[in-house]
Amino acid sequence: MAETRRAEISGAGFAGLVAATALAQRGWQVRVHEKGETLRTEGAGIVLWGNSLQVLDDIGATHDIMSNSMTPPAYETRMDNVIQSQETLDGIRWRTMTRGHLFNSLLLAAREAGVEVKPGSRVVSATADGVLTTADGASTKADLIVGADGVGSAVRDSLGFEVRRERSRDGITRFLVPRRKAELSALEPDTEWDNVIDFWNLDPRVLRVLYTPANDEELYIALMAPAADAEGSRVPIDLDLWTSIFPQLAPVLQDAARIQGRYYGYQTTRVDSWTRGVAALVGDAAHAMCPALAQGAGCAMQNAYTLAVAATAASDDELPAALAGWERLERPYTDRCQDRSQEYADTRAMSQGNQFTGESVETALYEPTDPHRHEKASA
């Protein structure tokens, strides 16, 4: 019988936990190093699409995900509070939830698959032939190394990958607050407050609130402003400014104003290559993107999953070539998603509504667990 193969993973984020689970379910012995002392995720809410939901189906996390998430009736876009579109997204699977819920579901799946997750273990370097070193000085030899350690990846930087970073002019502060549906309905009775509502104002001032119900009790709101707008990008938020522009959201803006918050400038990062020897990068370590298409975590999970499948199919000798082949097949989808997300962020074109058609839904409709996906695409 072949010896059990060993994978060492840096980072217990969405990418690291999916790679770990998918590998363990295919017979690998897997350890995930997480630099944080506690296992948790930062941030507020998240939207997932068919591509990542299919990965969650395959790793067995869907039942738990469904228990506390929702599919809003429509994705509505407003300009100056005038409805531009209400897209029902027919034929597209999508789900909103808190990031905490997604994280807990993934952690549960990882543990059920027998993954060892080690908090308080910071990775300092990795080599192309499979040695991972942590801050306590311990070095481990593995058959596969996965750098899933986010936009500041130590695995990536220690391996000498070249990173290109582009910043966009806008950024966002995100909050998780109570739904307050009755209070919102009292202010605007005709509004469907279960919808995602993307409230845009461009003139005279660029300010936007993306309103995303995450479940019956919790609401994810993201407040966008240009980095150059000191008041708009201030945390905690300037309540008078935001309620003057979005008076119909006053009840939930008041809750947001009590939270410290953090302003994130949009950025896109690209690396020359995703693999070197038996080391591979996934998630923000390889491809941080603007959130416009809500696919950063989606692409992270999709690539983590397909990496696990590709690595399992290869023998030890073949692994470096198999990883390079994985990048060749999968990367174009992520590259295009990054480009489109950046384009949307730079042009603010989402303010026009009617956006979930054609090329912009390529990633949402991608099927990473379908073994025949590439033949179908080239047919």
| Chain residues that interact with ligand 5PR, rule: CB under 6 A | 47, 172, 174, 210, 212, 222, 224, 291-292, 294, 350
Beta-carbon contacts of residue 230 (< 8 Å; ≥ 6 apart) = none
Which residues is 328 bridged to in the sheet? Answer: none
The binder of 210, among ligand 5PR, ligand FAD, none, by C-beta within 5 to 8 A per type, is ligand 5PR
Residue length of the chain: 379
d(CA 104, CA 261): 22
Question: Minimal distance in Å, beta carbon 374 to ligand FAD?
Answer: 22
d(CA 309, CA 297): 19
Identity of the residue, 70 or 187, whose beta carbon is nearer to ligand FAD in the bound complex: 70
Output the smallest distance, CB 353 to ligand 5PR, in A.
13
The verdict on 149 binding ligand FAD (CB under 6 A) reads yes
Nearer to ligand 5PR by Cβ, of 133 and 267: the residue is 267
Nearer to ligand FAD, 35 or 179 (CB): 35
Residue 149 contact among ligand 5PR, ligand FAD, none, beta carbon within 5 to 8 Å by kind: ligand FAD
Q: Is the peptide bond before 226 cis (omega within 30 degrees of 0)?
A: no
Would you say 121 or 341 has its CB closer to ligand 5PR?
Answer: 341
Which residue from 309, 364, 313 is spatially nearest to 340, judged by alpha carbons?
364
Check binding of 148 to ligand FAD (CB under 6 A). Answer: yes
Other Cβ atoms closer than 10 A to 204: 5
Closest approach, Cβ 104 to ligand 5PR, in A, equals: 19
The site partner of 218 among ligand FAD, ligand 5PR, none (C-beta below 5 to 8 Å per kind) is none
Helix (H, G, I), strand (E, B) or coil at 197: strand
Quick one: 213 or 320, whose CB is closer to ligand 5PR?
213
The SS3 assignment for 265 reads: strand
Instruction: Please identify, using beta-carbon distances, which residue of 47 and 300 lies nearer to ligand 5PR.
Output: 47
Q: Which residues of 61-74 are buried (b: 16+ CB within 10 A; e: fewer)?
A: bbebbeebbbebee
H-run or E-run covering 141: strand 139-141
Site for ligand FAD, residues 350 to 369, rule: CB under 6 A = none
Site mask for ligand FAD (CB under 6 A), range 257-276, x = bound:
-------x------------
Select 163 or 187, whichever has its Cβ closest to ligand FAD.
163
| Angle subtended at Cα 361 by Cα 81 and Cα 289, rounded to the nearest 5 degrees | 85
Residue 292 binding result from ligand FAD, ligand 5PR, none, given CB thresholds of 5 to 8 Å by partner type: ligand 5PR
Task: Please count the other Cβ atoms lying within 10 Å of the Cβ belonging to residue 83.
Answer: 12
Q: What is the CA radius of gyration of the chain?
A: 21
Q: In whole angstroms, what is the distance from residue 159 CA to residue 286 CA? A: 13
Q: Is 11 in the site for ligand FAD (CB under 6 A)?
A: yes
Q: How far is the CB of 110 from ligand 5PR (least distance, A)?
A: 24
Residue 300 binding: pick among ligand 5PR, ligand FAD, none (C-beta 5-8 Å cut-off by kind): ligand FAD
Number of residues that bind ligand FAD (CB under 6 A): 32
CA distance 265 to 268: 10
- What's the rounded Cα separation, in Å, for the pair 242 and 250? 8
Q: Segment near ligand FAD (CB under 6 A), from 148-156, 184-192, 229-237, 253-261? A: 148-156
